[in-house]
Structure formats: structure tokens, C-alpha cells
Structure 1
Amino acid sequence: MALVSSFRDSLLSAGPCGALIARRDWSQGTPGSLEGWSASLRAATLLVLRSPVAMVLLWGEEGVMLYNDAYARMARGRHPDAMGTPVRRAWPEAVEFNDHVMRTGLAGDTLSFRDRPFTLYRDGVAERVWLNLDYSPVIDDDGRPGGVLCVLAEMTDQVAAQTALADSETHFRLMVDAVPQIIWIADADGRMEFLNRRFSDYTGAPFESLTPAEIAAAHIHPDDAAHVVASFQAARDSGGVHKCQHRIRSASGEYRWFLDRAHPYRDPASGRIVRWFGSSVDIHDRKLAEDQLHALNMTLEQRVAERTAERNMLATMVENTDIMVMAVDMKFDILGLNLANANEFERVFGVRPKTGDNMLDLLADRPGLREEVRAGWMRGMQGEHVSFVDEFGDPDRTRRSYSISFHPLFDEEGRQVGVYQFVADVTERLRGEAQLAEAQAALRQAQKMEAMGQLTGGVAHDFNNLLTPIVGTLDLLQHKGLGGEREQRLIAGAAQSAERARLLVQRLLAFARRQPLQLIAVDLAELVAGMGELVASTTGPQIAVEVDVEPGLPPADADPNQLEMALLNLAVNARDAMAEGGRLRIALRQQRVGAELGLPVAEGDYIRLSVTDTGAGMDAATLARAVEPFFSTKGVGKGTGLGLSMVHGLALQLGGALAIDSEPGQGTEVALFLPVSGLARHEGVADIPCAGPTRRSGRALLVDDEELVRHTTADMLADLGYDVVEAASGEEAIALLDEGVAFDLLVTDHLMPGLSGTELARLVQARRPGVAILLVSGYAETDGVAPSLARLTKPFRKRELAERLAQVTAAAESLITV
């Protein structure tokens, strides 16, 4: 009976689900009353309850469910009815799958699934979810499988993110493939990384990663190849724009003229060229026309005075060209024009001109167009060659862009007697160049934000490594009370500064979307009401704080601690924008979000949390950069520039969005959209308080490649009563293991050169099963980390280390004693 009482006490201390199991009457059905539970069942149950990750034990032939608090949160509306219920009845929508699991597990085999899709009814509504599942048989006291242990993790958000990324890449490809020119991206050496569909359509060749010399040999006219390679090399040497004209062979073997233009993209940190964004525009028809025009320009004045036969030959040449040609005298009387010009003039201005007409008289009844035409021709009557691009046409019709060139016309004595004009319609070419520019700008912005996110996450990791010995040492100095009152005051000030640095790193991780979140169903109305006094004290007496909450709001999925920090950041920003005082309004509404709002979220119901001020507002340039990290308008020393970027990163990590509306002098509204959790609030269960630090005995193997972090952690462990053995790498720790060094506890850093902390933990678990293990990490990096492995995030104080060690050592001891 003492054993049963001890087991029941262990259940009661193992969280809400443990208490539920302890108080349940199990005498009817599987697995029977607690007094009759086997040692194997008791040990497996405690293992499940003490795990921080979702785990469920399916016991007996029916698979009676015994699960922990993490699984209860995942099961949502199915909890607590699922506890003690056969899995077939608890999850009827997955009967066949669970039958297969039970048959396999009770036969002694294991199963593993990654990103396995299910349609579940956790809150009475069908939802599509993806899960990672690992099933292992649990051997009962008689040596045969008595149940199946399942470790699971919900991957729905990750699968959705991967799908969104693939959709974004598809949209970019569709957009670039729609451009009627060849678009390409090359690396710093000119080797092709990307070519749009136009390249294959024209050349008939599939995309290949080729160097400039290889491309020139395969597709460029032999007479132009050396020029192209030299031009690109010159651009690389100078760091300027690559631009050259050359001929490219089509799939039919014909060569056409193209204009290459490529801009370098530089690494923001080093300034080094890392990529080239280029286009190859088909200018064949234009080049032929320009050649014709060049020949015409060289001979027009001479041919005016030549014989009639030569005039007829010139007229035939001008008449057959696609370029629009017209000549007028100084009074705007038309001296001559070709068919292309007459047709386009009629299409644009609605009247057909002919030789002898006065061009301005033709437009007498349309004074606006008449003045526009007159002003254009006057630019050509100044006696010099003039070229420009401009729009012409009836405002009520489609206006088009034209490349216009004016040349003075002289008589035999050198006097200017008129002007002749060459015009080409360049509307489609300019439109294609604009589309290309937009695509390049979008790609550059996406790469910029991705690079900043990666940089920020890495900086935060390094800062956490730097802060760990600082925070730990100051904590030890404070608790030991070293020095006098002045020394303790200095230590307290340094500890406060370290805590501010710790919060700054949390903001960096929020922007990089790498902060650890504890998602629950949050009553936002209650959260906002609870922060009323804090917001009012933060903003000061000059600012009136108003709260407007729509009644009956459903809860939203969020991390309440991070959300409180985000709301406080928004309130501080609003306060700083109202230097002379004003009004701050916090509003909560439920809103249906569709495609019309242009937010990067799935269509559905959201809770809209908005903070509105009557301050200075932002102009368009400031608004465009508002969520960039470290961007601030507050001046040096008045802000980190991370407030809005942290809120933006939190919104994205929660599956929501951030929207900002602001105008100079009109104030600013910042709206945070959070996904609705369900129709009714999920009541949270208070955490059981953790005991304070206690002294323990035993030997700890401490592994960390950062010397200062290792020494500080060793001091903490020694202060807690441990005999500490240090190792600077995973390989050094394995060598100690091979030498037979005994230890009761392994504390290891996660990210280290060579053997990682996770790999080291797996080796120690295999060779020393009874050793308690704690994994320490600079940020919320969980790739490759076993869900059951206990973790502690840097930086940490001695109390936080002690509390975590108490949990992991207690779990290890319970497995041994049971």
C-alpha cells in the first residue's frame, strides 16, 4: 500500500493530467484499480506525465488513453473526456489508423510518421492537421507488450509555411515568365542561376547553369561573342551596369539583335557583388529601323535637291519603313509623310493628314491637342537634333508612349527651312521594362528581409552566449552578498542592464521569428483590462487612455506574455509620438479577413487588436520602413528600433498579421490580427509552483565550447552542491566517458563545433541510461532535438538552472525507483 500511496502522490504532483488520473476510479475496465497497476505501467505513466512534449500511452488491447498536459492542449475539446477512454472511441475519425497502430505496437514493432495528414474534430469542427508521430511498444512485467507509447508533435503551421513559400515561388515564376523579354539572374562570376521561360521559347534550349563564355559559344553570334564576354568582364571590374548589344540564335537558326542590361546586387554587409539581375530585350526590328534611319539621316538633305528618280526611290524607302516619318516647314505646313505616320496620326488625333495640310489647322477644333503637338515640334525647330520619349493621344482614349527624334531641315544655302521627324511606338517596350523593374525590386526586398532575419537570429544567439556568464556571475554575486552597500548597488545596476540586454535579445528573436512561444487560448478582453493600469502609468497623465472592447469576443491563439510585451511596446511608441499629450485608444474587435484587405493571412475570423494615437503620424517613406529592425525616428539613445519589428515578427509567428495606417499630423493606428481560437474560451490550468533552489550532491559533466559560459555554469553547479567535471567539446566528453569517468548529470550546450549537444545526449543515453540530461541553447533552435530532451535557454540565473535541474533529476530518479 505504501508503494501505491507513493505512486498516487507522484501522480498528484505531475500536473493537471496526473491529478486527473490519480482521482479517477479505475476499478471498472482497463487497466484496473491503481493498486493492481504493474510496475511497467506505473513507470510509463510517470514518464508520459513528466514529459514537456505531447505524449500518450495506449494501454491494453483497447488502447486506453493515458496522456500528459501537452497532449491535453493538443486534444483541445476532446479533453478531459478522452482520458481513460479507448483510443477507437476517443478519436472515431481515425479508427483504421489507430487499429493499425495497436496491432503493430502490441506485436512488438515500432511505427514512425512525418507530416502525416489527418482530419480531426478537436472542437467539433473538421480541421486539417499534420502530425509527426512515433509509436513504440511498452513491455509489461510479464515481458510482453502491454501497451503502445506515442510521442507526437503538431506540424500544421510548418506545413502551411512550406506551402506558402512554394506558392510564393510559383507566383514569382509566373510573373517573370509573363514578361515578354528574357529575364536572367547570374552569380558574381556570371554563371546563370535563373532564366525565365522566354529564353527556352526563343532558343529552344533548356535552362543550363553556364558561364558567360559558355553562353556566348552556345547561343551568341560568333562575331559578337568576344564583345559580350569583354563587356561583362568590364562591368565586373568596374562594379557598374553591364550593357551591350549582340545577336542571339533562335530555335530556327535565325539570329536576332538583343540589348543586354544587368545591374549588380551587393551584399549589404560587405558591399561585395554577389548576384546580377539582367534582361535581354529583343531590339531586332528597332535596330534595323535605326540603321535605315541612320542611312536616311545621312542622305535626306542631299536627296531633297536630287533628281525626281532619286526622290521616288527615297519616297519608296520611307513609305515602306515601319518608322513614322514626317517633314514640315517653319509654318507647320506638311512637306511630306509616309503611310505609317498618316495612319498613326489618324489613330491618335482622329484626323488623317496629307502633304500640303497645315498640321495645326487640322487640330483647330481640339485646342488642347493642338498645343501639345505645337510644343513638341517647336523643340525640333531650334536648329539642333532633339530626341526624347513622351506620351501623346486623346485623354479620352488610350495614350501611348513614343520615341521621337527631330532633325533640322536646311536648304542648299544652309538656311533652316523646316524640321523632319522620326517616331517609334515604344509603349510595349517601356511596359516590359517597368514590369521587370517591379519584379527585381520585389526580389531584392524579399532577399533583404530574409538576410536580415538570418543575421538577426545569429546575432541573438551570439548575444545569449555573451550574456550567460554576465547574468550568471551577477546573480551569484548578488545572492552571496559580496562587498558593502555600494558594491551591492553597483552589482544591482549591472544586473538591471543585463536584464535590459536580455529583453533586447528577446526582441531580436521575435523579429527573426525564433522566440519560443507558449500558445494558449487567450481572452484578449481580460488581458487588455489587466494591463490598463500599466499602460496608463507608462503613458503618463498627459495622455488619456481609452479602451473599447466588443462584448462576447472569442479567445485568440497567442502567447499572453509576448502579447503583453507587444501591447506595451505599441503603447510606448504611441506615447513618444504625442510629446504634447493626446489620446491613446485600445480597441478589440472580431473581424472577418478576406483577400480584399491584402493581408498575408488565410481567409477567416480574427481578433483585431488596435492601438491608435493622435500624435505626429508618419509620412510614406517612414511608414514603408516602420517594421525594419533598428529603424527609429526617436533619435540616438531614445529607442532600439525593435519595437514594431518585434510586434510584426510575433504576429507572423502566431499566424496573424500587422497593419499600420498613418498620415503626418493625423496620428497612427497599428492593428494586430490574431486568429480566433474557438467558440468558447479554453480555461487554462495554473502551473504547480516549483520549489526554490536546493543543494544537491553528485557529479555533473559540463560541456560547452564557450569558456566563459562553461566557467560561470560550473560555479552555479558547484554552488548547488555538485562536483563538476568540465569538457570543452562533445569529443572531449566522449573521451571522459570512454575513460570510465562517473557522473550523475550531463549539462551540455546544443550548438557546438563537431559533435552537437543533441548527438552527445543520445550517446550518453545509450551508454549511461540512468544519467539525467539538460540541454542548454542560445535560442529556440529545436531542429534535430528529441522532444523528450529537457532544455534551458541562455542566459539563465542560478535559480532557473536549479529549478530545471530539479525537474530533470526528479524524472530520472523516479524512473529508477519505480
Structure 2
Amino acid sequence: MTTAPGFRDSLYSGGICGALIAERDWSQTALGPIPGWSAPLRTATLILLRSPVPMVMLWGEGGVMLYNDAYAVFAGKRHPQLLGSPVREGWPEVADFNDNVMRVGLAGGTLRYQDQELTLYRNDVPEQVWMNLDYSPVIDEDGRPGGVLCVLAETTGHVTARAALVESEARFRLMVDTVPQIIWIADAEGRMEFLNRQFSDYTGAAFQSLSPAEIAGAFIHPGDGPHVVAAFQAARDSEGVHRSEHRIRSAAGEYRWFLDLAHPYRDPRTGEIVRWFGSSVDIHDRKVAEDRLRELNATLEQRVAERTAERNMLAKLVEHTDIMVMAIDLDFNILALNAANAAEFERVFGVRPHTGDNMLALLDDQPVLREEVRAAWTRAMDGGRLTVVQEFGDPDRDRPCYEISFHPLFDEAGAQVGLYQFVTDVTERLRREAQLVEAQEALRQAQKMEAMGQLTGGVAHDFNNLLTPIVGTLDLLQHKQLGGAREQRLIAGAAQSAERARTLVQRLLAFARRQPLQLIPVDMAQLVAGMSDLVASTTGPQIAVEVDIAPGLPPADADPNQLEMALLNLAVNARDAMPDGGTLRITASRRDAGTDGAPGDYICLSVADTGSGMDAATLARAVEPFFSTKGVGKGTGLGLSMVHGLASQLGGALDIQSVPGQGTRVALFLPVSGSASPVAAAGPACAGPAKRSGRVLLVDDEELVRHSTADMLGDLGYAVIEAGSAEEAVRLVEADTAFDLLVTDHLMPGMSGTDLARLVQARRPGVAILLVSGYAEAEGVEPSMPRLTKPFRKQELAQMLAQFTNAPEAVA
């Protein structure tokens, strides 16, 4: 535990906010002077001060605010006055929201908000702010929530960006919905798969899946048909762009000139052409005008050809580029556009634009989309350049996101006459960016779970030390039958509550992967068979229990007691998921790969039910500690967390599969043991706390734990020598103090119990050694060293000591 001066010094390493907390006089607040702060309050304060993400703790009924430098930045001008103030006074504009947070948190609950919208006055003006908020209770020394810890991430930028994308898509769809040209899609050989309504309106024919030759014979001028078929075949051979000009017969029997342009679409995996996307643009008026101009200017033909060659080259470059280009005048009349723009406009708006068309008139039948297009162009009409990222298009067609660069268009006198744009589809790029954000969020969730595991393990270890004298004392009172019937009922009730607390702490340690384990090779078939009756009685007569164990399974490395508890937890969860009855199936088989597909040798123990199942959101949080769907008072939310922690601690893995309405399957993967044969779980060494004799050197730095253990040993007939540290015990050894048995705590300040055991073993080889611990930290501990897990009763202590009576040589 950090002392008050040491804690105050530690605050200074917590940044600016840490220094402010250290230097402030807290005596007039609900927290009181710093020397009187509880250990959980100090620990939580140091954790949040060292966090790089915004964190704030709301302590006590009033929610006195303690936060770190990252939160100070979020608070804006309200820092530093916000520090130390009650949360209702610090953020009055969201007082009701924070009142609910305090009610839930101080009741032991957790809250999580994704993109929570609040209006805050961080800088003297109202701001709409979106945040991800995670609230968790901080358990004080009395075992009740003393405050609420909040982890905050502002998501305002992401939320507003998404809103902007939605608006952009709507505007774009409006622009491309009503293209009055023929759009077609053909397979790799050119057989038609799609023709838009403009084709039927023009030709009067319904869609048919025709080959290029069949289309030429049915609709194209006889003088143009062979050229069109040859041009398409040449594009197929070269795998390039198809382009041809030809005449198409209308429903009235007239022929008009069209420009046919098609680009190949390739399979992303093989690179082979699988489709052709094309358009047929009516160029009849242009062709007629060209013919007339040719006739009227026969003498100027050469000069026109020379002057237009350069322009044609530039036009081809613009026409064939993938970048979409369009120019309009100030009245939204189209001055020019390339094929990419026309095709995309038609694809997303359903209408094909032409030079001379009024862009807004093309979208008159889609007023919402028309106003989106108008607004986008109007923003750029002030003469400056503008780049926007926005969605456009009809939601019923497609609504991609585009990066659009607007530029002013000037005449020879320098007056602005219109605008032109360059457009690139950035939908895929934004999707990849969103995937990156999702991956980063997954990483943050994994880091949060690891931090919760570390915090939970430490708290559970401290609770074991607190529970040891409670459990031991109540056990002694029960066995001595002190008081009358009323007193014995009270003692029995307290013992039952202590046992529930003990079980809860073991689950916390299991989640944190720090529970003490006794690994032995376990016969899975024997373990499941031994649990069958208990599982059946626990689940009840409405549920059929089926067991399927593969024959010849090798043993798995596991702690049989913890594995039985895990199996029982899974059976209880399955029972609760089947209130109207069903089938619970327990199977065990050998697998040559883990849950991630990596090769390995595992025993897979699975429990499957036919119950209600879980949706994706519930499944994603299934192993989070304290997360439960059973309702208040019906579950701790630690069952699956314990099983998950046990699997990780054993070097295995946990896999959960669930379908709503069909059931859930939980599979526990355990490494196959290197031992050829399983070891049966050790039974009790004796039927009860029989009397013994001898001298015991008892070492524990926790005075209450030491006294409680000494009382048990004395009650068992031992003479006890107490030492408050390993160093004190060493001095007794060096003074030749006689003792027959060493009982020592494992984790102590200074020299550990393991180091003490080695020293005693070296100096007094005949002395038996028992290691007591409430933690899974086993670094440097010999696997054969007897260990007793805190908290324990007198009978459990007696059973461990009986091993020394039956086998005195069994020491570390």
C-alpha cells in the first residue's frame, strides 16, 4: 500500500493535473485530506493520471471530479476550476445525465455510450459534442462502490464526417439519375445483359439478350453493321476501349447517328475481361451540322482540320480519362463533359447529360437530388477554387462518395462565365479508412480488457487476504458451537456470505488469469462422468443431458477442481438459456488446431444448448467481467469471464458460437498433457480436523491473517511461533529456534515466502513446508511444493497438514 507521503510524491509524476491534486487542500471536500484517502481511491487516481486517454473519476455521493491531463484538454476553459468540484456543479448543463451515471455506478453497475450526443459549454459557448463513454464503479475498502471511473473518447469529428458523407451521397445521386442516353452492359463476348429504358423508348423494342451481330442486324444501319461488329471484335482482341460511330433505327424507322463507347471490366482476381460497360450517345445533330459545315466550307476543310487536330487531341485526352470532367455556365447549362462524367451521371441519377442540357432541368423529376447538385455548384460560384468530399446519387441506384474540385471558368476578358469540375470516386478509399478506424477500436478494446484484468487480479488478491481471517474465524466459531441457536444461525449466515465472497474472488482471479492452479494430467472422460449426476441435478428434469466423449482421449493438463467449476458454470448458463427445457450436450474430442487455426494438440471440451442464443452484440461482450443478460440478482456476470481466464491461464483458448433462437456452443481448448497417464484428483487427506502436535513457524505479513491461521493451528494441536515477515523468520532460524513445520505466505514485502522456503530447506532439510497464497504468481515455486489457497477453513488446513503426517518427506 502506498503511504500518504509516497502517494503525494507519485501524484507529481501524473502530469499537470497530478501536481494540482497533490498541491490542493482537500480537507474541505468530500474526499478529505490526502493522507486519509483510501487505498482504492489512491490506486484509481494514479491509474487515471498515467493514462494517455481522457479519464475522470467521480468520487463519493457528490461525484467529486479527479481527472488527468487528457481530460483537462477535453474540458477546455472549465479546467482547472472543474478539478475537485462535484460533477453536477462542474457540468450543470448535463446534470441529469450525470445524476443517472452516479446512481448506476454507486449501485455497482456499469454504463457504456457510443457516440453519445451532449451539449456542453466547454469554452463559454454551447457545443454539440459526441463521445464514447465507459463508466465503471470503483470499489472502496468497505467493499462498496466509492466512486465511478469514466473513460472518454470524443467522436465529434467522426460523427460529423459521417453526416457530411450522407449529404454528399444524396446530392450526387440527384445529378446522375436522369441521363437521356442509351446505357448498356454486355458479357465478355458482347452478348447484351442490360439495356436501359432509353433504348426501348428510342427503338420501340423490348430488351433481348443479343450478340453484337444480332444487334447489328436488327437495329444498326446496314452500311454500318459490319464496321460496328469489327470494331467491337478489335476491342476484344486488344482488350482496350471500344469506340464506334454508327446509325441506329428508331421506332419510327428513321436512323440517327450515335457514338458507341465501352470500357472493359476485369475480374479483380484473374484480370480477365468479364463484362463491357458502354453507352450510346446521340450525336446525330452534331453529325448533320458537321456535314453541312463541310459542304459550306469545302474550301476551308484543310484549315479546319489543322486547327481542330490539336483540339481533338485534347478532347480525346479529356474524353478517355477516368477522371470525370464537366463545365457549366452560371445558369447551370452544360458547356462540356467527358464520357466518364456522362456515364457516371447516368449511372447514379438515371439520366444521361449532353452538352447544352441544363443540368438542373435534367433532374426536375428528382427535386431533392436536384437541390443537392445546385447547392454543391453554388458554393463554388464565388470565383475561388473549392474541393469537397461528398456523396451524390439516387439511393435506389448507387450513392458513391466523390472528391470534387471546382474551378472558375473565365472568358477572354477575364469575366467569370461558369465553372468546371474534376471528380474522382473515393468510396473505396474511405471504406479502407473506416476499416482502419475499426481495427484501432478493436485494439483499444483489447487494451481495456487487459487493464481490467490487471486491476481485477490485484483487487481479488487483496480480498483473499481480507477474507482469510473472516472465513477462518467463522469456521472456528461454528466448530466450537459458541452461543445459542440464534447466534449459531447468525454465524452460519455470515459463513455462507463469506463463502459466496470467496467464490466471487476465485472467479475474479480466474478472469484475471491469476488464480492458483494445481496442474495435473486429467482424464477428461473420467472428469465428465464424475460430473454427470451433478450437471443433471443442476439443470433439472426439463433438460436432457447428453454426453459424447471420444474414445482413447489422452489426458489434458488442467486443474481438475477449477475445470469442474468451469463445466458447472457452463451448464448453469445453458440451463438459464432454456427456461422451457431443451437439450444440453457435453462433448470431448481431440483437435489438431486451436481456435485461431494454428496447429497444436488440444482436448476440446464443449457444452452446447438448444436455448435462446445470443445476438452479435451480446456475443461480442460475453466474456467481459460483470456483463450479464440474466437481470439484477440473477447472475454475477463472471461465469464466462472465469472460464475464459481459466482457458488462457492453462495455455488453451475459449471459442463461443451462438445463433439467436437456435442455441449456444462454448468450447474449451486445453493442451494435451505430456504425461502418458492421467493423475486422479487427490481426495481429502483426512475426514476432519484431527488433533496433532508439533511446533509450527507461521509467517505472514498480514496480522489478521496470521492470527486467524495461528488459532486454527492451535486448535489442531500445534504450538505456533509467529513471524510478521520472512526476515523475522530468518532471524528465528538463525537463532536455532526449533520447529517441525513452516507455514508461510507467498507474496510479502521484501523476501518472499518462496525464498524463505528455499533457505529453510537448505538449513533444515527435515522440516516440512506449506506455501499459502491467494494469487497465481508462481514464479520460482517448485511444482511439487504443497500450496494452500486463501481463504481457507480449518478442515482444509488440516487436510493439507495431513499430507505431511502421511508423507513427511513431501517438502519443496
TM-score by length of 2: 0.53
Q: Structure 1 residues 493-502 or 420-429, which shifts more?
A: 420-429
Structure 2: give runs of 5+ residues left out of the alignment. 1-12, 17-67, 77-130, 139-147, 158-310
d(CA) in 2 for partners of 1:401, 1:493: 66
Q: Which amino acid aligns with 2:587?
A: L
Task: Name which one, 1 or 2, has greater alpha-carbon Rg.
Answer: 2
> How far off is 1:726 after superposition?
2.0
> How far off is 1:809 after superposition?
6.3
Q: Which amino acid aligns with 1:531?
A: M
Task: Identify the residue that residue 546 of structure 2 maps to in structure 1.
Answer: 547
Q: Is structure 2 residue 741 aligned with structure 1 residue 771?
A: no
Alpha carbons of 1:471 and 1:669: their partners in 2 closer, same or farther (altered >3 Å)? same
> How far off is 1:328 after superposition?
2.9
d(CA) in 1 for partners of 2:620, 2:425: 35
> How far off is 1:357 after superposition?
5.7
Q: Which amino acid aligns with 1:463?
A: F
Task: Identify the residue that residue 389 of structure 1 maps to in structure 2.
Answer: 390
Task: Identify the residue that residue 725 of structure 1 maps to in structure 2.
Answer: 721
Q: Is structure 2 residue 74 aligned with structure 1 residue 239?
A: yes
Alpha carbons of 1:449 and 1:396: their partners in 2 closer, same or farther (altered >3 Å)? same
Q: Which amino acid aligns with 2:585?
A: I
Matched residue SS, 2:456: helix
Q: Is structure 2 residue 660 aligned with structure 1 residue 661?
A: no
d(CA) in 1 for partners of 2:766, 2:602: 49
d(CA) in 2 for partners of 1:361, 1:693: 96
Q: Deviations for 1:271-313, whole angstroms, at most 9, x for unmatched residues?
A: 6999999x9xxxxxxxxxxxxxxxxxxxxxxxxxxxxxxxx9x
Matched residue SS, 2:582: strand
Matched-pair contact (CA < 8 Å) for 1:348–1:394: no
d(CA) in 2 for partners of 1:727, 1:682: 42
Q: Which amino acid aligns with 1:390?
A: E
Alpha carbons of 1:771 and 1:574: their partners in 2 closer, same or farther (altered >3 Å)? closer
d(CA) in 1 for partners of 2:809, 2:711: 24
> How far off is 1:751 after superposition?
0.8
Task: Identify the residue that residue 696 of structure 2 maps to in structure 1.
Answer: 700
d(CA) in 2 for partners of 1:601, 1:237: 45
Q: Alpha carbon RMSD of aligned pairs, Å?
A: 5.2
Q: Deviations for 1:662-713, whole angstroms, at most 9, x for unmatched residues?
A: 34444433333445669x9946457576245443334322221111101101
Q: Which amino acid aligns with 2:755?
A: E
> How far off is 1:776 after superposition?
1.3
Alpha carbons of 1:656 and 1:327: their partners in 2 closer, same or farther (altered >3 Å)? same
d(CA) in 2 for partners of 1:604, 1:784: 27
Task: Identify the residue that residue 644 of structure 1 maps to in structure 2.
Answer: 640
Structure 1 segment 623-642 matched on structure 2, within 5 A: 623-642=619-638
Alpha carbons of 1:460 and 1:349: their partners in 2 closer, same or farther (altered >3 Å)? same
> How far off is 1:448 after superposition?
1.3
Matched residue SS, 2:599: coil
Q: Which amino acid aligns with 1:485?
A: A
Task: Identify the residue that residue 582 of structure 1 maps to in structure 2.
Answer: 581
d(CA) in 1 for partners of 2:574, 2:504: 20
Alignment size in residue pairs? 511
Q: Which amino acid aligns with 1:389?
A: Q
Q: Deviations for 1:751-809, whole angstroms, at most 9, x for unmatched residues?
A: 11122222223333344444333221112321122445432221112222233234346
d(CA) in 2 for partners of 1:711, 1:440: 50
Task: Identify the residue that residue 534 of structure 1 maps to in structure 2.
Answer: 534
Q: 2:778 aligns with which of 778, 782, 806?
A: 782
Q: Deviations for 1:480-527, whole angstroms, at most 9, x for unmatched residues?
A: 222223322322232222222222222222222233444555554554
Q: Deviations for 1:309-355, whole angstroms, at most 9, x for unmatched residues?
A: xxx9xx99xx9x99966443588531356xxx766666886999885
Structure 1 segment 462-501 matched on structure 2, within 5 A: 462-501=462-501
d(CA) in 2 for partners of 1:234, 1:690: 57
Alpha carbons of 1:768 and 1:565: their partners in 2 closer, same or farther (altered >3 Å)? closer
d(CA) in 2 for partners of 1:489, 1:360: 86
Matched-pair contact (CA < 8 Å) for 2:699–2:729: yes
d(CA) in 2 for partners of 1:723, 1:751: 24
Matched residue SS, 1:436: helix
Matched-pair contact (CA < 8 Å) for 1:343–1:352: no
> How far off is 1:402 after superposition?
1.4
Q: Deviations for 1:563-622, whole angstroms, at most 9, x for unmatched residues?
A: 33222212222232334x121321426475658xx636535564352321333x322221
Matched residue SS, 2:492: helix
d(CA) in 2 for partners of 1:234, 1:517: 41
Q: Deviations for 1:714-768, whole angstroms, at most 9, x for unmatched residues?
A: 1112222233222222233334445554433322211111222222233333444
Q: Which amino acid aligns with 1:700?
A: V
Matched residue SS, 1:755: coil
d(CA) in 1 for partners of 2:679, 2:785: 25
Structure 1 segment 602-617 matched on structure 2, within 5 A: 602=599, 606-615=603-612, 617=613
> How far off is 1:428 after superposition?
6.5
Matched residue SS, 1:634: coil
d(CA) in 2 for partners of 1:423, 1:814: 81
Q: Deviations for 1:95-146, whole angstroms, at most 9, x for unmatched residues?
A: xxxxxxxxxxxxxxxxxxxxxxxxxxxxxxxxxxxxxxxxxxxxxxxxxxxx
Q: 1:690 aligns with which of 685, 689, 704?
A: 685
> How far off is 1:647 after superposition?
1.9
Matched-pair contact (CA < 8 Å) for 2:363–2:369: no
Alpha carbons of 1:593 and 1:362: their partners in 2 closer, same or farther (altered >3 Å)? farther
Structure 1 segment 199-218 matched on structure 2, within 5 A: none
> How far off is 1:435 after superposition?
4.2
Matched-pair contact (CA < 8 Å) for 2:404–2:421: yes
Alpha carbons of 1:384 and 1:577: their partners in 2 closer, same or farther (altered >3 Å)? farther
Task: Identify the residue that residue 434 of structure 2 maps to in structure 1.
Answer: 434
Q: Which amino acid aligns with 1:582?
A: G
d(CA) in 2 for partners of 1:618, 1:501: 29
Q: Which amino acid aligns with 2:758?
A: R
> How far off is 1:549 after superposition?
2.1
> How far off is 1:429 after superposition?
5.1
Q: Is structure 2 residue 752 aligned with structure 1 residue 761?
A: no
d(CA) in 1 for partners of 2:583, 2:672: 25
> How far off is 1:396 after superposition?
11
Matched-pair contact (CA < 8 Å) for 1:381–1:418: no
Task: Identify the residue that residue 333 of structure 2 maps to in structure 1.
Answer: 333
d(CA) in 2 for partners of 1:273, 1:652: 26
Q: Is structure 2 residue 551 aligned with structure 1 residue 716?
A: no
Q: Which amino acid aligns with 2:73?
A: S
Alpha carbons of 1:487 and 1:742: their partners in 2 closer, same or farther (altered >3 Å)? same
d(CA) in 1 for partners of 2:390, 2:664: 41
> How far off is 1:444 after superposition?
0.8
TM-score by length of 1: 0.52
Matched-pair contact (CA < 8 Å) for 1:392–1:402: no
Alpha carbons of 1:730 and 1:276: their partners in 2 closer, same or farther (altered >3 Å)? farther
Matched residue SS, 2:624: coil
Matched residue SS, 2:622: coil
Alpha carbons of 1:606 and 1:443: their partners in 2 closer, same or farther (altered >3 Å)? same
Matched-pair contact (CA < 8 Å) for 1:188–1:273: no
d(CA) in 2 for partners of 1:234, 1:722: 56
